[in-house]
Amino acid sequence: MMQISKDIRYIGVNDHAIDLFEGQYIVPNGMAYNSYLIMDEKTAVMDTVDRNFGEPWIQNLEAALEGRKPDYLIVQHMEPDHSANIDVFLSRYPEATVVASAKAFAMMRNFFGTDYSCRRIVVGEGDTLSLGKHTLTFVTAPMVHWPEVIVTYDAYDKVLFSADGFGKFGALDVQEDWACEARRYYIGIVGKYGAQVQALLKKAAGLDIQTICPLHGPVLTEDLGYYLNLYGIWSSYGVETEGVVIAYTSIYGNTKAAVELLAEKLEALGCTVALNDLARCDMAEAVEDAFRYGKLVLATTTYNGDIFPFMRSFIDHLTERGYKNRTVAFMENGSWAPVANKIMARMLENSKNITYCENNVRILSALNEESMAQIEALAQELAG
């Protein structure tokens, strides 16, 4: 059991059995499902955990309670990895009251067949709940990243319980860089809702926060400006790192040879390059790179009068998450009727504030002097 403060205890669990989070994100270091207990004149539990970990979570809760009974269950987010044990908790503690937003109670009816109307407190923006010396203030965070979400501020210990905000992939018993897996988590799961995250950050700016307790990932206690700054960049679709991402597909190796030549030239010009083979890499990692860096090269083959499926999927991931504020270049390969550059450009036509490079590349089957000259010109433009 982790002690967050004298009165706040961590009671979450680590999941190393999971292979794909939300059915799509590779999590080699597992996941943490975080839950917290506040001990005061009244006791409050902050969220539950995934259904597969109900028993160890209850055990953690019982140990932390030290013989007391919980008075409140505060539900900030209704995704099942945090809400699956609501009914288990309320059945075990029949005198406890559940606290959540109106939308969350509507979702509880969908999940559990009841909205607990006889034992609930509905809260909204600015509402408070006193536990004794700890007064909890609720802040609505709609679409960060579900519509029912609230976050909770404890003024006594200056703790922000941030729901899925500031979360990351990875269990808590594994040491790894925060930014890499937090970035992949944010862009993959929350990235579409940058405007809503910006609104929440503005609310948070008015609070004296010394600790952030998310529902995934480590409790953040030091250099909070670092985390807040990254969230500001990510949610405003800003450029975090100067560099060029090259995302490509290649059937027989000719397009691969072309992008490797471009990468070599860019690196010789002093550029940081991230190269992603979309057929083989983790797609979420490639998407993360596209949002991290300021420049993107899309290189693919014409395929059945369209573009290669992995590239189409990649661009769909970008546009779904509101990709914008970037420089983009195209490279196409086609043996007799290349149309890939035109199709890729069309897929991005609704993306905002995209600067397109003048020196795009066309390869007719394999590299030749003309296409190599185009690659040289593109490298010079991207490095300029």
Lowest-pLDDT range of 100-109, 293-302, 328-337: 328-337
Q: Quick one: 141 and 161 in the same domain?
A: yes
Q: How many CB atoms lie within 10 A of CB 384?
A: 6
316 and 218 in a common domain: no
Residue pLDDT, tens place only, 313-327 = 999 999 999 999 999
> Which of 207, 235, 263 is at the close of a domain?
235
Domain end call among 184, 217, 235: 235
Query: How many other β-carbons are positioned within 10 Å of the β-carbon of residue 237?
Result: 18
Query: Do 15 and 163 fall within a single domain?
Result: yes
The structural domain count of the chain equals 2
CATH number of the domain encompassing residue 206: 3.60.15.10
pLDDT at 18: 96
Q: How many residues does the chain have?
A: 384
Domain residues for 356? 241-383
| Contact status, residue 306 vs residue 312, Cβ threshold 8 Å | yes
Q: Does 28 share its domain with 173?
A: yes
Determine contact, residues 292/191, Cβ cutoff 8 Å: no
Backbone torsions φ then ψ of 272, nearest 5 degrees: -80, 130
**Are 364 and 311 within one domain?**
yes
Which residue, 235, 269, 291, sits at the end of a domain? Answer: 235
pLDDT reported for residue 336: 84
User: What gap in Å lies between CA 193 and CA 186, rounded to an integer?
Assistant: 10
Q: Is residue 124 located within the same domain as residue 260?
A: no
Structure confidence at residue 337 (pLDDT): 84
* Statement to judge: residues 214 and 259 lie in one domain: no
88 and 209: one domain? yes
- The CATH number of whichever domain residue 308 belongs to comes to 3.40.50.360
- Same domain, yes or no, for 229 and 257? no
Neighbour tally for 242: CB within 10 Å: 10
Residues 194 and 267 in one domain: no
Share of the chain above pLDDT 90, in %: 97
Q: What is the DSSP letter of 157?
A: T
- Tens of pLDDT, residue by residue over 169-196, are 999 999 999 999 999 999 999 999 999 9
Is residue 229 located within the same domain as residue 285? no
Mean per-residue pLDDT for 283-312? 96
- For 9-51, the pLDDT digits (tens) are 999 999 999 999 999 999 999 999 999 999 999 999 999 999 9
Based on the domain organization, do 377 and 274 belong to the same domain?
yes
pLDDT at 1 over 80: no
